[in-house]
Structure 1
Amino acid sequence: MRVATPADAGSLGQLLHDFNTEFDARTPDGPGAAARFEHLLAREDVLALIARVDSDAGADIGFAFLTLRPTPLWDGPLAQLEELYVRQDLRGGGVGSALLARAVGEVRSRGSEELLINVDADDVDVRRFYERHGFSDLDPDSGSGMRCYLRQLRV
């Protein structure tokens, strides 16, 4: 597992395309996503991690993509896990857990005090995965349930 650089854009683009295709989500093709990753990975407020299995001919098998943004609550950034994906045939072997643990360590080392994750309410398996790793959909101060709201702005 390693921190990605712009040189990893092609692999990340293909993994993102595979991820979105698997879940029937709108997606750019691999090269389109790769071009976007190349641009994003040159930024200081973006972080991607790549998981690789050496026994699989050095193939990249998963990734985590995070964004970091300023917050008025503390000096370091607020981190958001935008994407976490492991190839379907390799799930259940600890790769996702390792990616998540490394992501937590990386954003913590950058001064972040919180890591946000948006999960679809009906995606019970993913919710259970994050809860097993200490994440909650309850506000830690009030115990109130948290919600994510979205409004598409494109025409």
Structure 2
Amino acid sequence: MTEVRRATPDDAPVLARLLWDFNTEFDTETDEVEVLAARFARLLGLEPMVAVLGDDDGEAVGFALLSLRPAIWFDGPVSQLEELYVVPDLRDRGIGTQVLDLSRRIVQDLGSPEMHINVDEVDADTRRFYERHGFRNIEAGTDHRMLCYIGPTSGDPIPS
């Protein structure tokens, strides 16, 4: 049976391995596990960061990483689901739902009335997962997609 709990800085090595697995599964450039572990340890010591870890008989099976930031349009922070991952052989068993549900409860308890999630448009399975859980791509009454632009803080263009 999968147990899902809020992660602590002590879980940084496990979270780093899961994130590395996630990124390599989808051929995304990633840092080494040791670098990611150091970042998780640092981030999980910060107030606006939350991680959730799924464990099945001592084996890590999934995780979520969330950040919270102040928002002007309502009281409380807005939460951003940065990552959610379930080990491939264990997908479609409800683990992702458990991780997402606990993530939502934690950020709601921290005062966040709204959660944002970025999903690649071509990732139909992931989009269906979030839509099943009440997330929508656009706000009601709008007829356009919101685009997310990424750029360096230096002002230099990001290499293509």
TM-based fold match above 0.5: yes
Runs of 4+ in 1 over 4 A off after TM superposition: none
What letter matches 2:90 in structure 1? L
> Residue 66 of structure 1: SS of its match in structure 2?
strand
Identity of aligned residues (%): 46
Give the Å deviation of 1:149: 1.6
- Choose which of 41, 45, 53 in structure 1 pairs with 2:44: 41
Gaps of 5+ in 1: none
Gaps of 5+ in 2: 153-157
Task: Tell me if structure 2 keeps the 8 A contact 1:137–1:145.
Answer: no
Whole-Å Cα distance in 2 between the matches of residues 116 and 19 of structure 1?
20
What letter matches 1:33 in structure 2? L
In the TM superposition, 1:33-112 aligns within 5 A as 33-54=36-57, 58-112=58-112
What is residue 8 of structure 1 aligned with on the other side?
A: 11
Whole-Å Cα distance in 1 between the matches of residues 108 and 150 of structure 2?
30
What is residue 130 of structure 1 aligned with on the other side?
A: 130
- TM-score, normalization: structure 1? 0.93
Give the Å deviation of 1:95: 0.2
- TM-score, normalization: structure 2? 0.90
Give the Å deviation of 1:18: 0.3
Whole-Å Cα distance in 1 between the matches of residues 102 and 143 of structure 2?
28
Aligned residues: 151
Give the Å deviation of 1:114: 0.5
Task: Tell me if structure 2 keeps the 8 A contact 1:12–1:34.
Answer: yes
